[in-house]
Amino acid sequence: MSEPPHLPMTEPQQREITRLCVESGLRLMQHGAESALIESLSCRLGLALGVRSVEVAVMANALILTTLGADHCITTVRRSADRGINMHVITEVQRAILEVEEGRLDPASYRAALEAVQPLRYPRWLLSLVIGLSCACFARLAEADVEACGLVFLASGLAMYVRLRLAKLHFSPLLTFFASAFVATSLAGLGLLLKLTLTPRIALATCVLFLVPGFPLINGVSDMVKGYSNIGLARLAWATLLSAASCGGILLAMTVWKLWGWP
Amino acid sequence: MNLLLGLLSNMLLAAIPAAGFGMSFNVPRRVLLWCAAGGALGRGLRFLLLRTGMPIPWATLLAAAAVSSLGVYAAQRLRAHPKVFTVAAMIPMIPGVPIYTALIALIEIQRRGLTNELLSTALSSALLSVFIVAALAIGLALPGLLFYRRRPVV
């Protein structure tokens, strides 16, 4: 990475660069990047486009960014709404920024590239299928019998479909997780009630594994480790809330269908 | 022979959920293969280390660090941040059954009253899950902490 030239720039130019930086950071933030990545990529973009320095403050639901130009600085704030984890967007934004650093994009063409990034979404039926399959694999890894794995496949697949449908209707993720945990546990509980399998407990445990909030947990820990304690705590609290909602769904299903009893 | 069979089935059974969860994080299609490879590497390495008698949190730490190193290598080839695929590759190592056991044991304590057996199940499962999750997070961060201290991976 060579030292970029500090070009003399006019105020409108600096304003546009500031907007590009904050909008790139915002895209990363909305789609689940960790704070260190948000900060380093928006800084690198600004430096590559020729401002003297970029200062970023990442907050739990907003992004504050200042660029320092030749003789003044510009500060701007953007509110961030969560758009769901999407690694495709993060990859595309990062690649565009790498191209700016290599000198292959100027501000105008970078804006075009940024606006052309459309979030990739896999179809709902496909996601339900692979999540069902994944949870069946978890059951197998935990040494469940084949009947239990089949049951987990059905339970998790259907529950994932419910989760995606509810998310599409813009219910709160907490309600969505609660409902899908209820559906998954109810279906897997059939194994215990109808004695379909010899390992019903493993089926009950693994059918809800797709609700473990892996990304908030891991991002939360890495934010904390890298010194972004505020947003790290916010992420960990959110992960805890999501897990609590799933626990509520599991408990409700166990109470309604009387799935109690220690093996 | 038995060892090899166990290893292969572990790796295959981990590769599928790693790719599956990658899809639920909307990982681009071509990168999904790296998710699967990471999942297989992590689970396979952990299987072998457990066979040598290593405790499961330490085996998880080493396996997670190996996956993260693979992630750094892949990141530089794909021009994408390693988190894009390493998080999905960690998912098969999340201690689902211990977390669930701890939760149910806690609720049984509330429903039926405290017994030594329930308390010890709850505590030991909860501690095991905490150790494994911490090992996953630290292992994932290890290449960054050791080798990429002041410079970005990509």
Q: Which amino acid is at A218?
A: I
**Mutation target vs B (from A41, A121, A138; most B CBs, 10 A cutoff):** A138
Q: Which of B110, B37, B103 is nearest to B73 (CA)?
A: B37
**Mutation target vs B (from A37, A38, A91; most B CBs, 10 A cutoff):** A91
Backbone torsions φ then ψ of B53, nearest 5 degrees: 95, 10
Tens-place pLDDT, residues B60-80: 999 999 999 999 999 999 999
Q: How far apart are the C-alpha atoms of B77 and B67, rounded to whole Å?
A: 15
In terms of residues, how long is chain A? 263
Cross-chain Cβ contact A214/B85 below 8 Å: no
Q: How far apart are the C-alpha atoms of A81 and A86, rounded to whole Å?
A: 14
Contact B35, B88 (CB under 8 A): yes
Distance from CA of B94 to the nearest CA of A (A): 9
Please report which confidence band the pLDDT of residue B97 belongs to, taking 50, 70 and 90 as the band edges. Answer: confident
Residues of A in contact with B107 (CB under 8 A): 251
What sign for the dihedral angle of Cα B74, B78, B79, B81?
A: negative
Q: How far apart are the C-alpha atoms of A46 and A54, rounded to whole Å?
A: 6
Structure tokens at B70: 């693979």
| Coil, helix or strand at residue A84 | coil
Residue B151 pLDDT: 80
Q: How many residue pairs bridge chain A and chain B with CB atoms within 8 Å of each other? A: 135
Please report which confidence band the pLDDT of residue A2 belongs to, taking 50, 70 and 90 as the band edges. Answer: very low
Minimal-distance CA residue of chain B relative to A142: B97
Q: What is the DSSP letter of A31?
A: T
Residues of B in contact with A202 (CB under 8 A): 97
Whether residue B64 lies within 8 A of chain A, CB to CB, comes out as no
Cross-chain Cβ contact B81/A85 below 8 Å: no
Contact B74, B61 (CB under 8 A): no
Tens-place pLDDT, residues A148-165: 999 999 999 999 999 999
Q: What is the DSSP letter of B114?
A: -
Q: How far apart are the C-alpha atoms of B90 and B14, rounded to whole Å?
A: 10
Give the ipTM of the model, two decimals please.
0.91
Quick count: other Cβ atoms within 10 Å of Cβ A164? 21
Distance from CA of B81 to the nearest CA of A (A): 7
Please report which confidence band the pLDDT of residue A43 belongs to, taking 50, 70 and 90 as the band edges. Answer: very high
Whether residue B56 lies within 8 A of chain A, CB to CB, comes out as no
Element (H, E) at A97: helix A87-101
Q: What is the DSSP letter of A217?
A: H
Q: What is the mean pLDDT of residues A181-185?
A: 97
Q: How far apart are the C-alpha atoms of A19 and A100, rounded to whole Å?
A: 15
Residue B56 pLDDT: 96
Whether residue B46 lies within 8 A of chain A, CB to CB, comes out as no
Q: Over chain B, what is the mean pLDDT?
A: 92
Q: What percent of chain B has pLDDT over 70?
A: 100
Residues of B in contact with A34 (CB under 8 A): 83
Domain locations in chain B as residue ranges: 2-94+133-146
Element (H, E) at A55: strand A53-58
Tens-place pLDDT, residues A186-217: 999 998 899 888 999 899 999 999 999 988 98
Whether residue B116 lies within 8 A of chain A, CB to CB, comes out as no
Q: How far apart are the C-alpha atoms of B143 and B86, rounded to whole Å?
A: 12
Cross-chain Cβ contact B26/A131 below 8 Å: no
Of A91, A218, A250, the CB nearest to B28: A91
Q: Which residues contact A32 (CB under 8 A, 6 or more apart)?
A: A84, A85, A86, A87, A90, A215, A219, B25
Residue A87 pLDDT: 95
Q: Over 90: is that where the pLDDT of A37 sits?
A: yes
Distance from CA of A7 to the nearest CA of B (A): 25
